[in-house]
Structure 1
Amino acid sequence: MREFWENFGPTCDDAKAACRRTVHEQVAWESVLAEAKPITSRDELIEDLERARRDLGAEGYHFEVKYVAEQGDVVLSQRIEKILDKDGEVLHLFDVMALTRVRDGRITWNRDYFYNTQSEAWGRDEGP
């Protein structure tokens, strides 16, 4: 898990490569940001990264892994996630906890839990 998060950037292409290396083809990926349509395959996860690139201007990622604990094939992790624009400026900042199942070295299931989530724009002239 730590390898996945630490290699999820700095570019969108790096994030997609990390997915190809460490995520199982039939992953179940759930996120507050995609609750209406949970991701059911590695290809969908990569498509979601491309959609974020196209629709949000997400060109890069920086993850700071704060905590990782495992018991059997289940991993609990905490990370600070920054989604960056083409100039490396922060678009979104998330404090994320995740429960993940890893089998045979591949991520087969992940559920993200966000808190203290903010958009960089909120820190400027606008409020949430």
Structure 2
Amino acid sequence: MEETAHYWVFLVYTVAVTGLVAGMIGVSYFLGQRHMKPATRQPFESGIVTVGYARFRLPVQFYLIAMFFVIFDLEAAFLYAWATAVRAAGWTGYIVMLVFIVTLLAALVYLWRAGALNWGPRTRQLSKQRPG
């Protein structure tokens, strides 16, 4: 008996949410403005009508920087979570977080030395020719 009560609560919640969404869409349809200007059907970004072709290729470095951001943003989330529980984690938590930070710094140094962070045009180094 008690198990069916949970289904009724879920059903009432679903009907309420569906009614609220349908009501908001209906009210906006009836009260919304109806005008057709040339810019109405054009896509826009932040209120600015687009100019030019939107499907251009971005350099690979853009995606590398995006991945670095995701990685180091995740590091910041881990550091924040650790900082809130630093006393409960104790010295073991401190050592684990230190290893985590050192590993990420080693990865950053590796990427830096490999040239993954260079944005400028790549110059080819000429190989030394042996006098013949």
TM more than 0.5: no
> Which of structures 1 and 2 has the bigger CA Rg?
2
The TM-score normalised by the length of structure 2 is: 0.23
Larger % of strand: which?
A: 1
Higher helix share: 2
TM-score, length-scaled by structure 1: 0.23
